[in-house]
Structure 1
Amino acid sequence: MEATPTTVKVNGAEIRKLRIHAGQSTSELATVARLSERYVNHLENGYRTRMRPHSYSRLRQALGLPADSTQLLHPTEGPQETR
């Protein structure tokens, strides 16, 4: 049985690109994903690079990505990496 990762490393530039493409402001994305606007801003700007799986799932859903999408993950790490 494979353990659920404690955090996933995300690609802030990709989050920003998808948010802009969806026509959402940082505030709108944060509201839909049930995250703080500051947290989303920190992810996009690279101040934060890791998220807990439940927050990552909400962000992915808010951006309209399918459950099996790895598009938001940092390119140097796979979906199951932990730190």
Structure 2
Amino acid sequence: MERPPATYQVHGPSLRRHRMGQGRSVQAVAEAAGISRSYLQRLETGTRECMGPERYIRLRTALNATDDQILAPPEAPSHERR
């Protein structure tokens, strides 16, 4: 059985877009996910990018989101970046 990653790197702008697209406040989503409003704000602004698995799953569930919708995209290999 595969273990979950130690941390999940969320993409702040995508997280914010998804929340706002649902018409929900930072406070409402934070409460639903069991995290603080300031923690969610730091994730959305990119001040904080990584979350532990339990918090990440609660946030994803609260937003009814998929990994593709709120995780940071994998970094392209250096030879593909330009």
In the alignment, what sits opposite 2:72?
74
List alignment gaps of at least 5 residues for structure 2.
76-82
Q: Between the two proteins, what is the percent identity of the paired residues?
A: 40
Structure with the larger RCO, 1 or 2 (CA within 8 Å, 6+ apart): 1
Name whichever structure is richer in helix by fraction: 2
In structure 1, distance between residues paired with 2:18 and 2:62: 10
* CA RMSD, Structure 1 to Structure 2 (Å): 1.4
In structure 2, distance between residues paired with 1:4 and 1:63: 20
Please give the secondary structure, in 1, of the residue aligned with 2:70: coil
Shift >3 Å, 4+ stretches: none
**Aligned residue pair count:** 75
The Cα offsets for residues 10-41 of structure 1, whole Å up to 9 and x where unpaired, read as: 10111100110111110011001110000000
TM-score (normalizing by structure 1): 0.82
